[in-house]
Amino acid sequence: MPKFLPHAMLWGLVVLLAGCSSLPPKAGLYAQLPYGAQAQLAFMSGQLAEDQGDFHSAAKFYREALLRDPSSVTLRRYLAGALIRLGLQDEAIAEFRTVLKEAPSDPKAYYLMGQLYEAAGDTATATAVYHQALERDLGTSEIHGALGLLLLHEGRRTQGVAELKRALALDPANSEARRSLVGYYLEHRRVEAAKRLLRQAAEAQPERVEWLLDLAAILNQQDRRQEAFALYQQVLLINPLEVDAHHRVAEYYLDARRWRDAVGELEWLQKFEPENTLLQRNLGLAFYELGLLDKAREQLHPLIQSDRADALTHFLMGGIYQQKQFWHLAVQEYQQALLQKPDFVEAQLELAGVLLQIGEKGKAEAEAEKIGSRIRRNSPLQLSRYGWLLLRLKRSVRALEVLTEAARLDPRNAQTRFFLGQAYYDVGQFEHALAAWEKAVKLDPTLAEAYNHLGYTCAEKGVRLKQAEFWMQQALRLEPKNGNFHDSMGWVYYRQREYKKALAEVLLSLEMLKQARAEIDPEIYSHLAQIYQKLGRWSDAESTWSRLLQADPGNAELQHKLEELRGRMKSDQP
């Protein structure tokens, strides 16, 4: 056992001594101390020495005062306090023994002496001291609590719990006893009993937020996050500057994907903890999810520069570069994320997607092979993203298998249903594709791309055209400036033989795509050429087909359509 006072207990005992009601204040000592002027002068000198941190001198002066007034219990307590600060617990214990001889009915002295024995590692003597106090009918809440905790440590659970309960019965504000009893209940999986104690404490001491914080921590462990969140909010009503509660509220917002609320909490915390890497990363995450990419980069890039970035930081930076179409920078960040966390499947999925985007199909396929062995089969989200990658790699049959499993695991995920519809379409199961897309928009009526797929696919097949028109209206209501959606609407009108409306939509499509500097699918020009032909605008049709052929000179189908048009134009000449 240790032969010195642990630092935390040493200072705890000092605080206990300083809090003794019988100790005299530092001011007005001549009026209050019952001993003579020389003792008073020595005591004052001891006080001054303590104020200056000179505990050797303080002890010397207190001993000198005791020579003048050896029966003073108060002076012996001050001397014991100085000895504790000097780490001389044996001498401090000797002084407390004298105190008990002089004042055998002083329960505070019994408690402090027991604490000293505990700090010295002599728990047997500490227990004996506490029992001695109880035998003298001096059992305070502090003594019962200290004895209860010792008994618990000795494995005497029944007696220990009984003592802790007596301590609380005597003084419901005994925090140490309550915490010890709560700890015991939690250790033995009596969670409801622990929660009941904490609720009682919170009701009895509504100004002390630690009880609410402890109760909220238990609720979090039980995955009752909403209840814990309500308690943290209650804490902040009592003390708006309680940093720990702000941290927990921020975590709740992040888990709940309430990004704007998370930003508010994280920015508040960052004022107090500007060097907190995790706060900075999480704030970058929240900005990223809100689409505020520049703000996200402001938080994340300094972490990378200062070598404080984790895998998620690199992953988010990869996402920022990907959305800004800085493809090679995105590749570097995703690769860095995987260096730090080789099983980071989400980063590998995005890396494969970017590699496809820049034409590195072989590398993308290699990444897909790695993903296949690393993906969690019980993770619908990972399966869904993996299925989409397989679709982009034209591995439609395998994609259909993966996405079917993802939809089974999470039947209410609209994005998975959307991908599943594409897989069905690619393997030629048209009706199943429509059913999957319809399910997607029922699950998420804001999924504009699913409406677009429904409308355009029906137009291509020439079926359910009025329904297709309605679906395209929904898509454009959600994204009125999406040029590709306007092309789809134009194609729906074309199939309904409303060629003037079709022309207006396709021309608008091209204008929007050019303004956005977006890549224009050659299929849009094909639509335009066919509409011109239906309207009898042969010259416009010819120039459009010619433009397409110039971009793809080896396309036999385009060559045939252009020659067919020119032949028709010649036959229509007078």
pLDDT of res. 102: 66
Tell which CATH architecture fits domain 479-571: Alpha Horseshoe (1.25)
Q: What's at 471, amino acid-wise?
A: W
Residue 323 in 3-state DSSP? helix
> What does the block give as tokens for 437?
């897309």
Nearest CA to 68 among 92, 91, 101, 45?
45
Higher pLDDT, 152 or 381: 381
On whether the CB atoms of residues 327 and 335 are closer than 8 A, the answer is no
Please give the full DSSP string across 450-469, using - where no structure is assigned.
HHHHHHHHHHHHT-SHHHHH
Q: How does pLDDT run across 463-505, given as a tens digit for each residue?
A: 999 999 999 999 999 999 999 999 999 999 999 999 999 999 9
**What pLDDT is recorded for position 12?**
44
In the block, which residue shows the tokens 């505070």? Answer: 108
Lowest-confidence pick of 37-51, 230-244, 362-376, 490-504: 37-51
**Predicted confidence band at 36 (pLDDT cuts at 50, 70, 90)?**
low
The residue among 241 and 125 whose pLDDT is bigger is: 241
Q: Which residues contact 379 (CB under 8 A, 6 or more apart)?
A: 409
> What digits encode the pLDDT tens for the residues 529-539?
999 999 999 89
Using pLDDT thresholds of 50, 70 and 90, give the confidence band for residue 2.
Answer: very low
Give the CA angle between residues 276, 241, 181 to the nearest 5°.
95
pLDDT given at position 6: 40
In whole angstroms, what is the distance from residue 491 CA to residue 485 CA?
Answer: 10
Question: 327-365 b/e with 16+ CB inside 10 Å = b?
Answer: bebbbbbbebbbeebeebbbbbbbbbbbbbeeebeebbe
Residue 30 has pLDDT above 60, yes or no: no
Domains of the chain, by residue range, sit at 1-139, 479-571
Please enumerate in sequence order all residues whose Cβ is within 8 A of that of 38, keeping only pairs 6 or more positions apart, or say none.
Answer: 68
Residue 138 has a pLDDT of 79
Distance CA 108, CA 111 (A): 5
* Cβ contacts of 186 within 8 Å, gap of 6 or more: 194, 218
Residue 493 contacts residue 501 (beta carbons within 8 Å): yes
482 and 473 in contact (C-beta within 8 Å)?
no
Name the CATH superfamily, with its identifier, for domain 1-139. Answer: Tetratricopeptide repeat domain (1.25.40.10)
At 73 the pLDDT is 66
Show the CA angle centred on residue 172, arms to residues 169 and 175, nearest 5°: 120
Percent of residues, the chain, with pLDDT higher than 90: 52
- Tokens (6 digits) for 327: 């493809």
Residue scoring higher pLDDT (424 or 186): 424
Pick the more confident residue, 16 or 196: 196
User: What CA dihedral angle connects 301, 307, 313 and 314, to 10 degrees?
Assistant: 90
Tell me what pLDDT residue 416 has. Answer: 97
pTM above 0.85, yes or no: no
pLDDT, tens digit, for every residue of 174-206? 888 888 888 888 888 888 988 888 888 888 788
pLDDT at 522 over 70: yes
What pLDDT was estimated at residue 22?
36
Residue 501 in 3-state DSSP?
helix
* pLDDT class of 103 with cuts at 50, 70, 90: low
DSSP state of 188: T
Beta carbons of 121 and 1 less than 8 angstroms apart: yes
Specify burial of residue 444 (Cβ count, 10 A radius: 0-12, 13-18, 19+).
middle
Read off the amino acid at residue 420: L
Phi-psi category of 87—alpha, beta or left, where left has phi over 0 and alpha has psi -120 to 50?
Answer: left
pLDDT of res. 23: 37
Same fold, 1-139 and 479-571: yes
Kindly tell me if the per-residue pLDDT of 512 is higher than 60: yes
Higher pLDDT, 36 or 536: 536
Q: CB pairs under 8 A, 24+ apart, for 64-70?
A: 65/35, 65/39, 65/40, 68/35, 68/36, 68/38, 68/39, 68/42, 69/34, 69/35, 69/36, 69/39
Q: What pLDDT score was predicted for residue 7? A: 38
Task: Please give the Cα distance from 394 to 368 (Å, whole number).
Answer: 12
Least Cα distance to 14 among 91, 118, 86, 90 occurs for 86
- Distance from C-alpha of 206 to C-alpha of 210, rounded to nearest angstrom: 10
pLDDT of residue 140: 87
| Cα separation, 437 vs 458, whole angstroms | 12
| Span 236-246, pLDDT tens digits | 999 999 999 99
Q: How many residues does the chain have?
A: 574
CA 229 to mean position of chain CA atoms: 13
Q: How far is CA 281 from the centre of its chain?
A: 10
Max Cα distance, the chain (Å):
138
Q: What one-character-per-residue DSSP string does 410-430 give? A: -TT-HHHHHHHHHHHHHTT-H
Task: State the chain's mean pLDDT as an integer.
Answer: 86
- Please give the average per-residue pLDDT across 543-547, as a whole number: 88
Calculate what percentage of the chain has a pLDDT beyond 70.
91
Q: Which residue has the higher pLDDT, 125 or 388?
A: 388
- CA–CA separation, 430 vs 436, rounded Å? 10
Q: For 102-106, 254-258, 501-505, which range has the lowest pLDDT when averaged over its residues?
A: 102-106
Q: Summarize the confidence of residues 7-19 as an average pLDDT.
A: 40
- Beta-carbon contacts of 309 under 8 Å, excluding residues fewer than 6 positions away, are 281, 300, 303, 317, 336
The 10s digit of each residue's pLDDT in 374-385 is: 888 899 999 999
Angle at CA of residue 102, ends 100 and 106, nearest 5°: 50
Q: How confident is the model at residue 99 (pLDDT cuts 50, 70, 90)?
A: low
Residues 6 or more apart in contact with residue 216 via CB below 8 angstroms: 227, 228, 229, 231, 232, 235, 248
Rg of the chain over CA atoms, in angstroms?
39
Q: Name which of 81, 67, 69, 62 is nearest 34 in CA terms.
A: 69
- Average pLDDT rounded to a whole number, residues 122-147: 83
Reduced to 3 states (helix: H, G, I; strand: E, B; else coil), residue 70 is coil
DSSP-assigned letters across all residues of 258-317 = -HHHHHHHHHHHHHH-TT-HHHHHHHHHHHHHTT-HHHHHHHHHHHHHTT---HHHHHHH
Measured distance CA(243)–CA(249) in Å, rounded = 10
- Residue showing tokens 């999957």: 436
